[in-house]
Structure 1
Amino acid sequence: MSTISRFRAELREDSPIVATATPRLTWSVATDESDWMQSSAEVRSGDESVVLDGPESVLVEWPFAPLDPGERRTVSVRAVAASGTVTEWSEPLEIVAGFLAEGAWRAQPIGFAAPAAPAQPALLRTAFSVDREVSRATLYYSALGVIDAELNGTAVDDGVLAPGWTSYRDRLVHETTDVTALVTPGENVLGLRLAGAWYTEQYGFFEFASRVYGDQPAALAQLELEFADGSRETIVTDGSWRASVEALSASSLYDGEAYDARLEQRGWSAPGFDDSVWAPVAVAEVDAPTPEARIAEPVRRIDELPVVEVLSSPSGKLVLDFGQNLVGRLRVRVTGPAGTELTLRHAEVLEHGELALRPLRRAAATDRYILRGDPAGEEWEPRFTFHGFRYAQIDGWPGEFDASAVTAVVLHSDLRRTGWFESSEPLLNRLHENVVWGMRGNFLSIPTDCPQRDERLGWTGDIQVFTPTASFLYDCDGFLTSWLRDLALEQSRAGGVTPLVVPSVLSAFGGATAAWGDATTVVPWVLHERFGDRGVLRDQYNSMRAWADVLLAESRGTGLWAGTFQLGDWLDPAAPPDKPQQARTHSDIVASAYLARSLRIVADTAVLLGHDDDARRYGEHAEHARAAFVAEYVTPAGRMMSDAQTAYALALQFDLVTDPDQRAALAGRLAEIVREDGYRIGTGFAGTPLVADALAASGRTDAAGRLLLQTENPSWLYPVTMGATTVWERWDSLLPDGSVNPGEMTSFNHYALGAIADWMHRTVAGLGPDAPGYRRLRIAPRPLRQLGWASASHETPYGLASVSWTRDGSTVSVVAVVPPNTTAVVDLPGHPITEVGSGEHRFSFEEAPAPERSSPLGLDSSVAAIIDDERAYHAVVDAIAAIDPDRAATFRTETVWAERRTLRQSLIFTPPAVFESIERALADL
C-alpha cells in the first residue's frame, strides 16, 4: 500500500502560513513497494485539479492561480507510480496567505513617549468594540525591537522574541496570527509588551560599542477584522494608543533583565482595566521598511532542563549545574517577603569552582527579580533576553533552596530535526550531540557565532563552513533563506561586498574577506544541493554574481586574491591565543582558493538558471583562477607553498589541482603532515571542514579516522574528554588544568569546528546526497577501524533515508534504506559502483588488512589485551612516565584504571618513539 506521508507548502511545516502567493508544494510517499518511482501526480484544491507529469515531488511550482492576500486554501495530492499503483489522496493541507496586499500596511511605529533611559521597555494598549459577528480576525505585528502580543489578556501565539532580528534599515518581518477565537462581543483590548532586544543593543567591541539602529524600540500592529455581514474594520498602532512603563524596568540581550514584581499592572491587556493614568504613545519618527511576511520558523520555547546538581562555590555562592551548555533562560518559582531581590548570573563553565565570567567580556548576563511577596508563591521567567549557560549562580534566595524550583528553558528557532548519527564510540556520539546542541543554541532568529558574550552576531564565515552539517541535522532551508535576504540587502548597501556579519552592525570592519564573504555563494549552493531548492539560487543570483564581481576586482586580472587583509585560516591551533589569524597556511592561499571556488559556483549556478553568457564568462574566470592558484602556490612535485594541513585540503577539496600525479603527491604530503603532527588537528575555520575529506578521498581513511578519534589537544574529542557539551570556539577553550584559555576571545558554544559532522554523516556512516535534494543518494561508508559500527539517518525531502554498518571480523555488513521516488549510488570498498532503487538493501564487503604500524607491538590490534591486564597497565604507564611524566599522571587514578578507555585511546595515538620503552617494560614482566 502507498500513501502520502508528508505534505507541505513552501518551507515551513509548523504553520499553515505562507509568505508568497505561489507557494511550492512538497510531498513524500510511504510504501511497501520497492523501486517505487512517481510517474505523475494530481493536485486538487476545491473544484480545481491539475495533473503533473513526471517524478517531481519536491518544491513543485504552485499549479493554481496565485493566492490573494489573506486567502485560505486546502490542497490535496495523490501520486501515481511507474508501476501503475496510485496512492490515496493526502489529508487536506491548509494554506493561508499570511501577507497583506501592497499598500495595505497602515500601522505606525509607536513607543513610550517619555522614556527614562535608552531601550525603555513599555506596555502599549488600545481598546475597541465589536458589535457584529466576527468571521475572521487576523493580527499582523512587527517591531523595531521585540514584542509579545496579547488580546483580551491572552497571548496570541507561542513565539518568543518576535519578530526576530533582520536588517532593520531595509527589512522587517511581521508575524501573522489568527486571533478569531480571542475576539469577544463588546469591549476588546489589544496589548503589546515592547522591548529593544537587537534593535537597541550596543554592538561593537570594548569602547567602540554603540547603538547602531536606535535608542528606543517601537511596535507595529495591524488587526484585520472581517465580519459575517461582509464588512471589515482595521485596528492599527497610531497616536491613539496608550502607554506605560511596567515592572520590567530594563531589558538587554547582553546584560539581562530587571523586573520588580511589586510594580505589575495586572489585567492591563484585558477589558475593564483603567488606563486613565497611562500616557499617549509617541509615534516614532523613523523610516521603517514595510514589514513582509515571515518565511522562517519563529523562536519558541523548545525544551526544559532541570537542575542536575546544586553546588557551593569556594566563595560560598549557590551555583546550579544543568548538565548541558544551553541557550535560554531560567524560570524560578519562589516564595518570600516583598522586596526580596533575586540575582541570576549565567556562565558556560566554572573556573576554580566559580562562574567563569571573563569569557562574557562586557555582557553582564544577569537577571534580577524583586518579589511582590505573594504568600502563594510567584513564578518568573525573563521575557526578552537569553543567555548561553550551563551554570547559574543565584544570590538572595529566601529560605531553604529547593532545586525543583528552578528550570532552564531552552530557546531556539523551531526547526524540525532531520538528521541523526550514532556509533560504537561514546566519545564520538557525544561529539555529535555537542554539534547538535551548538546548532540549537546558535540558530536563534539568525545563525550566530556564539550565544553568551557581547557578540551573538551573524558571522558569515561560521555559517559558510557549517551549512552542510546544519542542513543534515535540521530542516533549515527557510531559516537560512530568510537570512540570505538580509545578506543581499547588506551587501547591496556595501557596493557588493558582503559584510563579516549579517545583519551588519560592525562598521569598523570593512573590505572583502575570503571564506566569510563567500557565504554569499556557498550557502545558497548548499541549500540547493541538500534541499533541492533551485528557488534560493534564483532569488540570490544577483547577490552571488555581485560577490563574484567583487572578487574579480580584487584579483585585478591575475586570478589571485593576494595582499589584502584577511582572517585566513582563523583559529589555527598553532596561532597565539591573542592573534588567531596567524595561521600556518598563508591567508593569500585561503583567499585565492575561495576566489576560484566562488567563481565556479556562480558559473554552475548560471548554467542551472539558463544564464548562458554568465555561465561562459564566470566559467572562464574560474578556470583562470584555478590555474593561477596552481602556478603560484603548488610546486610541480606536489608541495604547497604553505606546508600545512589547510593548504593541502583546500587545493584538493576545491579541485584546484587537476593533474593526477600532483593530486597524489599533495594527498601523500597531507597524510605525512597529519602523521608528523601526531594525528592532532592542524586546521582553523577554513581547513577543518575539509581535512578529513581530503584524506579519505585519497584512500587515507585510516589517517582521517585517527585524526577524528584523537583525544589529545588539539582535537575534536579533547573538549569531550574535558566535559564539553557543545562545540568550543577554540580547540583548547578550556586548558588541561581546567583554566580558561587566556585569549580575549573564548567561547564554549561555537558550531564552526563542528563542521566535521558532515564528514561523519557522509563518510563514517556513509549517507550523503548524489543529486540535489537527495533525489539520488550516495551510499558510501568508509568504516573506521576503531569503530565496531556506525549509522546515520536523514529525513530527506523524499522521506527517511538511512545507512548502518557493522563489523564482524574482516566482514562489514551494510543496511541501507532508500526513500520512495529516489535512487542511490552504492560505492563500497572492493565492489563496482552500482545504482539501486527505493527500499531496504543489504550489502557486505571484506575489509582490507590494516596498514602495518611502525611498532612491532602492533598496538592497533593488541592494545586492549595489554591494558586489560592490571600489571601490564601499570608497566605501560611507568614507561610513558619515563618520557612524559605529565601525560602519565593522567592514567594513575583508580577511575581511569576502572574505565581504561582513556589509556587505550592514548596508546593508539602514541608516537612510535615511545613504543620501544613500552616494549621493554612489558618484556620485564
Structure 2
Amino acid sequence: MVQITKLWCEHHEPNTIGIGESQPRISWTTAGEERDWKQTSYEIELTHPDGRLIDSVKVDSSESRLVQWPFKALASHEQAHLRVQVSGVGADTVGAVSSNSSEGSAPIRVEAGLLQWEDWKCNLIEPNEATEIVPEKRHRPVTFKRNLQLPPDIAIARARLYITAHGIYEARINNSRVGDHILAPGWTSYQSRLTYQTYDIGLNLVSGQDNEIQVEVAEGWFCGSLAFTRRHNVYGSRLGLIAMVVVELENGDTACIGTDDAWRWAHGPIVKAGLLDGETYDAREKIHSETIWKKVQSNPDFPSSPRLLTAPDGPPIRKMQEFEVKEIIKSPSGKTILDFGQNFAGWIKVKEVDGPTGTTIKFQFAEVLENGEIGTRPLRSAKCLDTLILDGNGPITDWEPKFTFRGFRYVEVAGWPEELTLTARNFVGVVIHTDMEITGSFRCSNPLLNQLHSNIVWSMRGNFVGIPTDCPQRDERLGWTGDINVFGDTAAYLFDVSGMLTSWLKDMMIEQKEAGGVVPLVIPYILGDFGPGKSAEAVWGDVAVMLPWTLYTTTGDMSMLVRHYESMKDWLKAIPRSETTGLWKQDGYKLADWLDPSAPPDDPVNAMTDMYLVCDSFLVHVTTLMAKIAATLSKSRAEQTFYQDQATALRRAFADEYITPSGPHPNNKPTQPNVSQC
C-alpha cells in the first residue's frame, strides 16, 4: 500500500513553527510496494489544533512538490494542522494493474510567525553602558533578564518566544535551555535582513510562579572581529536583544511581555567569546543572588525598516553528533594533544573536571600537526583558543562553549589539574552545522574513491554553518560566491540545501543591489574597501545566474528563477565588455582559475590558464543559461531571442579569440578544454 512518508511546507522542516509564509506551498513524498505507481490525485485537509475541520480540497493532479496553498492565508501567530491523502495507479506484486489510495498522512503543524512589524510588541534593548573592551576590540557577552508571573490553576494552552539579537544568543527559562538552535540568529546581511526564531516554551513555563527569562548575547557576526581584515563592529557597536513572549491560557486570556525598559542586564561567567578567537569561561563569575543587575536602554532607531525582521527560510544550526577522542598524543615537546581522528567544525565538551579556584585550562584547536606539535600556523590570526577557569567549588560537568566554533581535529590541552588524570573519557567532540537532510550518497568498490567522497561530505558539513563558506578554521570563514557557485551542484546532490541557500541568495541580491549590479566576492559583504571585494569577477559573480538554476533543477522550485531573474539580468549588464566582441573587457587581473595547483609555488595566484579565457568561457555559459531561464519563465519571444542571439554571438567571438583552425591555442593549459566545453 502506498504511504505518505513525509509532509512539509516550503523548504522548512516538518512541524516548523513561526514560518514567514502566510500561504506556504506544500510537498510530500510517498513509498510503497506497488511498481510504477503514479499519483493521479491528492486531497489536502486543514484543521484547527482541536481537530475541527477548517477546509479541504481534492485535485486531480500528479503534483506532489511545492503545491500551492489552497486555503485562506494564515494570519500572524495562527496555527493549523495539515493532512494529505493521495490516490494513484500502479502494479501490485504480481503485476496486476490496480488503483489505490493512501491512508491519510500523519498531520503536521503549520504555524505562521509574526508577519508584520506591528505584531512585535517590544523594543530593541541594549546595555545602558558600553560592553566593548577597546584595546582588544571585543565585546564581553551580557545576560538580559526579565520575570513573567503567570496566574495559578490555569493551564497553558500555547506559549511562544519570538526572539533575535544584535549578536548571537542563547535563551533559558527557569534555568532550562530554550530550543536546540545554536549560534542563532545566524549570519545574514543584518543591515537589511535579521532573522528571528520562534520557540515553543510551553514546557519551560510554570503556572502560578515567577518565571525567570534569561538571554545571553555575545558579539557573533554582528559586532565581532571578522575575517582576515579583523574588522569589528561591522553592523553596530552595541549588543542588543529583541524578544517577545506570548502565552495563551486555557481560559482564553493571553499574557504577553516584550523587551522593554523593565528588563535588566549583567555580565556572567563568559568573559569573552569571539567566533575566530574562542571563548573564555570563568566559573568564579557565575551569576548568583548577589549579582548586580543594571538598567537597559531602548534603541529608538530600530528597526531601520519595517521589513528588517524576517522568519528563517530553512533549518537552523544544531549540534549534530559527537566524537570520542581517538588517541591522546604526547608531542615532541611534551604537550598533551587530543586526536579526534576526523576534521569537523564545532568544539569540545569537557565531561567533568575539578580543581582549585583559579585553575586555568586552555584548549588550543587546529586541523593539523606540524612536526608533531599542534599546527596553528595555518590559522593565521585566528586564535581558536577556549579557556576554562575553575572556581574550586566542586566538579564542573558537561562544560562547552556557546558562542564560538572552528574546524579542527586536534586539541592541545594545557593547565589540566595535576591531581586529575587526563583521559579520553574527559572529552567529546561536538559536531555542528546547518541541519540539512541527506539527499545523496556514493559508494563503490574503490576505498580511495569512498574516502574522497567522505572527505567531500565532511568538508561540506564544516563549511555549511549558517552560510556556505570557504573554510571553518582560519581567519576567513566567508561566504565566497565563487566557492558555492562551483560546488553548488555537488552540495544540492548531497544534502537538501534549498532552505539555507534560499536565505543566502536573498542576501546576495541585497549586496548586489548595493554594489550597483556587481555581485561582491563574499556574501554577506563585510570586507569594506578590501581590494577586489566589489569588482566584477567571472565565476564569482556568475553565481547570480548559476546557483538559482541549480536549485531550480534540484527542487523544481520555479520561485528561485522568478525571484532572481532581475538579479541575473543586472549581473550580465554589470560585466565590463569589449565594445567589439562583447566578451570580457581585458583590463587588469582577474581571479579566474584561482589557486591553480600548477601555479608556481612562490606565486600561487599566477594561474597557468589565460584568465580571460576562463572569464569568457563562463560568460558564454551563463548567457546560454539565461536564454534557457527566459524560456523556462515564458518570457516574451523578444527577450528569449535576445539572450539566444547573445549566446550565439559570444560563442563565435570566443572561437575567434581562443581557437585556431587546428584546435585550441597551443599556449593554453589543461583547464582550457574543460572550461571551453561550456
TM-score above 0.5: yes
Structure 1 position 363, deviation (Å): 0.4
Structure 1 position 15, deviation (Å): 4.1
Q: 2:498 aligns with which of 460, 469, 477?
A: 477
Distance across 2 between alignment mates of 1:641 and 1:35: 52
Q: Does 1:50 align with 2:57?
A: yes
AA partner of residue 100 (structure 2) = T
Match of 1:203, SS?
coil
AA partner of residue 344 (structure 2) = L
Structure 2 partner of 1:112? 127
Map 1:227-246 onto structure 2 (within 5 A): 227-246=249-268
Match of 1:412, SS?
strand
Aligned residues: 644
Structure 2 partner of 1:525? 549
Structure 1 partner of 2:384? 365
AA partner of residue 28 (structure 1) = T
Structure 1 position 530, deviation (Å): 1.3
Structure 1 position 223, deviation (Å): 1.4
- Cα offsets for 1:718-757 (capped at 9, x unmatched): xxxxxxxxxxxxxxxxxxxxxxxxxxxxxxxxxxxxxxxx
Q: Does 1:181 align with 2:203?
A: yes
AA partner of residue 493 (structure 1) = E
Structure 1 position 287, deviation (Å): 4.5
Q: 1:128 aligns with which of 148, 156, 161?
A: 148
- Cα offsets for 1:209-244 (capped at 9, x unmatched): 454222332121111233334443431112221010
Match of 1:478, SS?
helix
Q: Does 1:545 align with 2:569?
A: yes
Q: Does 1:559 align with 2:582?
A: yes
Structure 1 partner of 2:354? 335
Q: Is the 8 A contact 1:559 1:629 kept in 2?
A: no
- After superposition, the Cα gap between the structure-2 partners of 1:51 and 1:379, relative to the gap in structure 1 and judged at 3 Å, is closer
Map 1:745-784 onto structure 2 (within 5 A): none
Structure 1 partner of 2:410? 391
Structure 1 position 405, deviation (Å): 0.1
Map 1:411-560 onto structure 2 (within 5 A): 411-507=432-528, 508=530, 509-551=533-575, 553-556=576-579, 558-560=581-583
Q: Is the 8 A contact 1:633 1:641 kept in 2?
A: no
Structure 2 partner of 1:171? 193
AA partner of residue 174 (structure 2) = N
Structure 1 position 641, deviation (Å): 6.1
More helix by share: 1
Structure 1 partner of 2:95? none
Match of 1:429, SS?
helix
Q: Does 1:202 align with 2:225?
A: yes
Structure 1 partner of 2:107? 92
Q: Is the 8 A contact 1:296 1:482 kept in 2?
A: yes
Structure 1 partner of 2:5? 5
AA partner of residue 110 (structure 1) = I
- Cα offsets for 1:781-840 (capped at 9, x unmatched): xxxxxxxxxxxxxxxxxxxxxxxxxxxxxxxxxxxxxxxxxxxxxxxxxxxxxxxxxxxx
- Cα offsets for 1:63-86 (capped at 9, x unmatched): 212111111121111222145322
Structure 1 partner of 2:181? 159
Q: 1:379 aligns with which of 398, 402, 411?
A: 398
Q: Is the 8 A contact 1:336 1:377 kept in 2?
A: no
AA partner of residue 649 (structure 1) = N
Structure 1 position 547, deviation (Å): 1.1
Aligned-residue sequence identity (percent) comes to 39
AA partner of residue 663 (structure 2) = G
Distance across 1 between alignment mates of 2:204 and 2:324: 33
AA partner of residue 674 (structure 2) = A
- Cα offsets for 1:828-855 (capped at 9, x unmatched): xxxxxxxxxxxxxxxxxxxxxxxxxxxx
- Using the size of structure 1 for normalisation, the TM-score is 0.68
- Using the size of structure 2 for normalisation, the TM-score is 0.91
Structure 1 partner of 2:322? 304
After the TM superposition, which of the residue ranges 609-618 and 389-398 deviates more from structure 2? 609-618
Distance across 2 between alignment mates of 1:66 and 1:451: 41
More strand by share: 2
Structure 1 position 286, deviation (Å): 5.4
Distance across 1 between alignment mates of 2:105 and 2:177: 33
Match of 1:596, SS?
helix
Q: Does 1:582 align with 2:597?
A: no
Q: Does 1:624 align with 2:649?
A: yes
AA partner of residue 341 (structure 1) = T
Larger Rg: 1
Match of 2:37, SS?
coil
Structure 1 partner of 2:94? none
Match of 2:100, SS?
coil
Match of 1:456, SS?
coil
Structure 2 partner of 1:76? 83
Structure 1 position 22, deviation (Å): 1.3
- After superposition, the Cα gap between the structure-2 partners of 1:204 and 1:473, relative to the gap in structure 1 and judged at 3 Å, is closer
- After superposition, the Cα gap between the structure-2 partners of 1:637 and 1:410, relative to the gap in structure 1 and judged at 3 Å, is same
AA partner of residue 212 (structure 2) = V
Structure 1 partner of 2:96? none
Structure 1 position 532, deviation (Å): 1.4
Distance across 2 between alignment mates of 1:81 and 1:15: 26
Structure 1 partner of 2:216? 193
Distance across 2 between alignment mates of 1:99 and 1:503: 24
Distance across 1 between alignment mates of 2:383 and 2:170: 24
Q: Is the 8 A contact 1:342 1:396 kept in 2?
A: yes
Structure 1 position 204, deviation (Å): 4.8
AA partner of residue 391 (structure 1) = Y
Q: Is the 8 A contact 1:337 1:372 kept in 2?
A: yes
Q: Is the 8 A contact 1:99 1:176 kept in 2?
A: no
Match of 2:119, SS?
coil
Structure 1 position 642, deviation (Å): 4.8
Q: Is the 8 A contact 2:122 2:259 kept in 1?
A: yes
Structure 2 partner of 1:283? 298
AA partner of residue 142 (structure 2) = A
Distance across 2 between alignment mates of 1:116 and 1:153: 27
- After superposition, the Cα gap between the structure-2 partners of 1:78 and 1:116, relative to the gap in structure 1 and judged at 3 Å, is closer
Task: Supply the RMSD in Å over aligned alpha carbons.
Answer: 1.9
Structure 1 position 19, deviation (Å): 2.3
Structure 1 position 485, deviation (Å): 0.7
Match of 1:85, SS?
strand
Structure 1 position 9, deviation (Å): 1.3
Q: Is the 8 A contact 1:110 1:220 kept in 2?
A: yes
After the TM superposition, which of the residue ranges 474-483 and 178-187 deviates more from structure 2? 178-187
After the TM superposition, which of the residue ranges 242-251 and 604-613 deviates more from structure 2? 604-613
Match of 1:614, SS?
helix
Match of 1:35, SS?
strand
Match of 1:398, SS?
coil
Match of 1:498, SS?
coil
Structure 1 position 180, deviation (Å): 2.0
- After superposition, the Cα gap between the structure-2 partners of 1:379 and 1:33, relative to the gap in structure 1 and judged at 3 Å, is closer
Distance across 2 between alignment mates of 1:358 and 1:102: 47
Match of 2:631, SS?
helix
Q: Is the 8 A contact 1:120 1:216 kept in 2?
A: no
Q: Is the 8 A contact 1:320 1:391 kept in 2?
A: yes
Q: 2:671 aligns with which of 634, 637, 646?
A: 646
Match of 1:560, SS?
coil
- After superposition, the Cα gap between the structure-2 partners of 1:524 and 1:408, relative to the gap in structure 1 and judged at 3 Å, is same
Structure 2 partner of 1:699? none
Match of 1:137, SS?
strand
AA partner of residue 315 (structure 1) = S
Map 1:712-751 onto structure 2 (within 5 A): none
Q: Is the 8 A contact 2:124 2:302 kept in 1?
A: no
Structure 1 position 112, deviation (Å): 2.5
Structure 2 partner of 1:637? 662
Q: Is the 8 A contact 2:225 2:274 kept in 1?
A: no
- Cα offsets for 1:139-163 (capped at 9, x unmatched): 1111121000112221110110011
Q: Is the 8 A contact 1:119 1:250 kept in 2?
A: yes
